[in-house]
């Protein structure tokens, strides 16, 4: 089955999308937008003004005006061009770079804030995530590019009008012929763009396969398999087939382009011959034009041809940028469905799930889940992968909203609370924890570090069993982590990174702590010390564990066994062992590994 070709953007849609992008640009920097339009207007007028000066100088010589008059015209032309060049350089070398940086900063800030405000569920939607990533990565060149295209279109229209105005003053027949040939040249350019468009659609698939093969041979991810198997021979065969296909399409495209370029060359030759013969006849035989008019006609033909071609090119580019505008529009117009309540959670007392169901993309993840946790209790969610354990904790933190049923905090529906006040009472170590490109202290605090917080950071690191590693770091808690920002940044092991994430919970006075596989990257000794740290830091707090290491569950108040989105068993460790259900089977299976 052939790939579906993307629809071309209609002109009306391109205009609307361009208008949308210009509104974003103007809001980010009105001065930058206005100056770009001013530069387009002045640069366009510059073409006609210089042709006019050249025509006046040549005509003055032709009719024998005094040398003083000629030099005066040359002086005016020089003064005008000096002023134009000074203004042009000031704009592009001084004004534009400064305001462009400010523009990009404001633009990215708007995207950052929008991303921060969006529901977590949006990130599970490929369309939204793709629009967000594309907007972030292409906003600079695409929005500024749109602004440039509008400015250049204004320049081309003004330049074409000014050149035609000068030419009409010389001879209207030649002006119409030049305009006609320029339009014909523009039509050929449109045909060539259609050829390029179809070629690029076909080659996208070819290039995508080539990029994959390049990654296959160059990335370390595939290095071991390449050396241990014969898969590289298959990839080499695919590479040669791909190159043969690329050559076939390339030859076909070049044949079509040769035809259009030949026609364009013939038209240009005919145009130049007509202008030279027509103007020479009126210059030498009828003597109805001056030498300046002859020079203007030749210059105008080349100028107008180039300007109309550029108008067509800029319109095409605006249509392409219109696709980007659609992505930005969808991203910025996406509304959060998770509405915050107005109640402030002052103190956590209890958490209750009542017949909670949750579906993700029409797939049931949780079904009629009910349980209650009181302040100070420790519970554990256990079960196989995909059973719904992590989803349950995300609902507790209101990263998602339930499909049906309700979640109660202190007997009040979770939706009635202000989201920020709710999450301030919660701390979490996620299974896919992240260490940031920041110092150890900033990672632990997840905030700016000040000297008065030093002991808090150190205590949290010690309780997460990171203290021994901390003593080996020359800069201590001021050590920069990762090499994203710092060439000499420290790269930690998986277990050490996990301890940093755990210390992040210990450093804050959270009343409800959620730990999703907190010891997955730790050795048994570190796991034991971590449990000691949890006992110390969470003595009077509510703790929810998600774990596959059932040694952790022996000392919790209650265990919930999840299977296929439902709670199938619940009770203490001893109670579930006595029931001899799936929990007992999982525990005994793990226990056997430690038997002699």
Rounded mean pLDDT of the chain? 83
The sheet carrying 412-413 orders its strands as: 363-374, 350-360, 404-409, 412-413
Residues 72 and 547: their CA atoms lie apart, in Å, by: 89
Residue 353's DSSP bridge partners are 371, 407
- Alpha-carbon distance values, 217 to 211, 225, 240 (Å): 10, 10, 14
What contacts 307, CB < 8 A, 6 or more positions away? 47, 156, 159, 160, 163, 182
The pLDDT of residue 78 is: 93
Residues 243 and 209: their CA atoms lie apart, in Å, by: 10
The pLDDT of residue 485 is: 84
Residues 533 and 100: their CA atoms lie apart, in Å, by: 51
Q: If 0-12 CB within 10 Å is exposed, 13-18 middle and 19+ buried, where does residue 538 land?
A: buried
The per-residue pLDDT for range 342-354, each reduced to its tens digit, is: 999 888 999 999 9
Q: Please give the average per-residue pLDDT across 233-255, as a whole number.
A: 87
Tokens 């799936």 belong to which residue? 582
The per-residue pLDDT for range 104-157, each reduced to its tens digit, is: 888 888 888 887 777 776 666 666 766 777 777 777 677 887 888 888 888 888
Residues 325 and 146: their CA atoms lie apart, in Å, by: 9
Q: Where along the chain do its domains lie? A: 1-170+324-335, 172-288, 435-509
Residues 86 and 98: their CA atoms lie apart, in Å, by: 17
Segment of 26-35, 181-190, 197-206, 450-459 carrying the highest mean pLDDT = 450-459
The pLDDT of residue 4 is: 43
Q: What DSSP assignment string belongs to 457-490?
A: HHHHHHHTT-HHHHTT-TTGGGPBBSSSS-TTPB
Residue 451 three-state SS: helix
The pLDDT of residue 1 is: 38
The answer on pLDDT for 7 being more than 60 is no
Q: What is the value of pTM for the model shown?
A: 0.61
Give the CB-side neighbour count of residue 586, counting CA atoms within 13 A: 20
What contacts 405, CB < 8 A, 6 or more positions away? 353, 354, 355, 356, 357, 368, 369, 370
The pLDDT of residue 126 is: 62
The per-residue pLDDT for range 264-322, each reduced to its tens digit, is: 889 888 877 887 787 788 777 777 777 777 777 777 777 777 777 778 777 777 776 77
Residues 63 and 76: their CA atoms lie apart, in Å, by: 20
Tokens of 333: 């117009």
Q: Please give the average per-residue pLDDT across 2-18, as a whole number.
A: 60
The pLDDT of residue 6 is: 44
Q: Please give the average per-residue pLDDT across 491-499, as a whole number.
A: 85
Q: Please give the average per-residue pLDDT across 5-22, as a whole number.
A: 68
The answer on pLDDT for 336 being more than 60 is yes
- pLDDT band per the 50, 70, 90 thresholds, residue 374: very high
The per-residue pLDDT for range 538-547, each reduced to its tens digit, is: 777 899 988 8
The answer on pLDDT for 558 being more than 90 is yes
Alpha carbon 463 to its chain centroid, in Å, reads 38
Lowest mean pLDDT among 57-66, 309-318, 485-494, 499-508: 309-318
- pLDDT band per the 50, 70, 90 thresholds, residue 402: very high
What percent of the chain is modeled with pLDDT above 70?
93
The per-residue pLDDT for range 54-77, each reduced to its tens digit, is: 878 877 887 888 888 889 988 999
The pLDDT of residue 159 is: 85
The answer on pLDDT for 11 being more than 70 is no
Pairing of strands 363-374, 512-516: unpaired
- Alpha-carbon distance values, 515 to 11, 124, 314, 430, 555 (Å): 54, 22, 55, 7, 15
Q: Please give the average per-residue pLDDT across 365-377, as a whole number.
A: 92
Q: If 0-12 CB within 10 Å is exposed, 13-18 middle and 19+ buried, where does residue 134 land?
A: middle
- Alpha-carbon distance values, 527 to 50, 212, 466, 551, 552 (Å): 80, 41, 12, 10, 9
The answer on pLDDT for 412 being more than 90 is yes
Residue 567's DSSP bridge partners are 562
The answer on pLDDT for 596 being more than 70 is no
- pLDDT band per the 50, 70, 90 thresholds, residue 520: low
C-beta separation of 380 from 552 below 8 A: yes
The three-state (H, E, C) secondary structure of 266-311, written as one string: HHHHHHHHHHHHHHHHHHHCCCCCCHHHHHHHHHHHHHHHHHHHHH
The answer on pLDDT for 243 being more than 80 is yes
The pLDDT of residue 217 is: 86
The pLDDT of residue 3 is: 42
C-beta separation of 454 from 477 below 8 A: yes
Pairing of strands 542-546, 378-383: parallel
In terms of Cα–Cα distance, which of 44, 47, 316, 309 is closest to 183? 309
């Amino acid at each position: 089955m052939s790939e579906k070709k993307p629809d071309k953007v209609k002109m009306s849609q391109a205009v609307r999308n361009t208008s949308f992008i210009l509104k974003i640009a103007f809001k980010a920097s009105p001065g930058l937008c206005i100056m770009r339009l001013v530069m387009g207007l002045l640069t366009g007028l510059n073409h006609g003004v210089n042709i006019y000066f050249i025509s006046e100088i040549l005509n003055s010589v032709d009719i024998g005006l005094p040398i003083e008059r000629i030099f005066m015209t040359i002086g005016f032309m020089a003064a005008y061009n000096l002023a134009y060049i000074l203004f042009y350089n000031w704009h592009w070398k001084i004004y534009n770079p400064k305001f462009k940086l400010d523009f990009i900063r404001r633009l990215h800030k708007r995207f950052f804030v929008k991303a921060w405000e969006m529901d977590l569920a949006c990130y599970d939607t490929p369309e939204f995530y793709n629009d967000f990533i594309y907007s972030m990565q292409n906003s600079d060149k695409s929005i500024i590019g749109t602004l440039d295209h509008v400015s250049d279109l204004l320049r081309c229209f003004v330049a074409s009008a000014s050149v035609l105005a000068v030419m009409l003053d010389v001879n209207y027949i030649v002006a119409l012929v030049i305009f006609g040939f320029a339009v014909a040249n523009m039509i050929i350019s449109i045909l060539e763009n259609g050829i390029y468009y179809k070629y690029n659609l076909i080659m996208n698939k070819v290039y995508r396969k080539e990029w994959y093969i390049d990654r296959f041979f160059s990335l370390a991810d595939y290095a071991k398999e390449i050396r241990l198997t014969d898969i590289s021979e298959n990839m080499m065969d695919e590479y040669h087939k791909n190159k043969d296909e690329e050559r076939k399409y390339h030859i076909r495209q070049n044949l079509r382009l040769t035809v259009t370029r030949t026609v364009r060359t013939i038209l240009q030759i005919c145009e130049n011959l007509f202008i030279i013969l027509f103007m020479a006849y009126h210059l030498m035989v009828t003597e109805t034009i001056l030498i300046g008019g002859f020079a203007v006609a030749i210059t105008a033909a080349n100028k107008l041809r180039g300007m109309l071609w550029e108008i067509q090119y800029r319109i095409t580019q605006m249509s392409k940028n219109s696709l980007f505008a659609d992505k930005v529009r969808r991203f910025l117009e996406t509304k959060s469905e998770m509405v915050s309540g107005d109640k402030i959670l002052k103190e956590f007392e209890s958490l209750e799930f009542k017949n909670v169901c949750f579906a993700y993309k029409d797939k049931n993840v949780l079904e009629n889940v009910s349980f209650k946790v009181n302040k100070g209790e420790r519970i554990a969610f256990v079960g196989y992968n995909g059973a719904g354990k992590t989803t349950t904790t995300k609902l507790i933190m209101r990263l998602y909203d339930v499909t049906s049923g309700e979640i109660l905090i202190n007997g009040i529906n979770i939706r009635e609370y202000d989201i920020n006040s709710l999450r301030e009472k919660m701390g979490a170590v996620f299974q896919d924890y992240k260490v940031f490109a920041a110092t150890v202290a900033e990672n632990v605090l997840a905030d700016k570090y000040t000297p008065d917080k030093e002991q808090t950071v150190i205590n949290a690191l010690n309780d997460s069993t990171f203290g021994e590693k901390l003593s080996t770091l020359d800069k201590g808690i001021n050590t920069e982590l990762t090499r994203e920002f710092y060439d000499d940044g420290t790269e930690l092991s998986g277990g050490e990174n996990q301890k940093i994430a755990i210390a992040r919970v210990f450093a804050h006075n959270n009343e409800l702590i959620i730990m999703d596989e907190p010891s997955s990257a730790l050795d048994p000794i570190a796991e034991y010390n971590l449990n000691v740290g949890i006992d110390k830091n969470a003595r009077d707090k509510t703790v929810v564990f998600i774990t596959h290491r059932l040694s952790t569950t022996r000392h919790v108040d209650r265990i919930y066994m999840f299977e296929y989105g439902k709670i199938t068993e619940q009770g203490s460790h001893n109670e579930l062992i006595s029931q001899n259900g799936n929990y007992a089977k999982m525990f005994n299976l793990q226990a056997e590994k430690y038997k002699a």
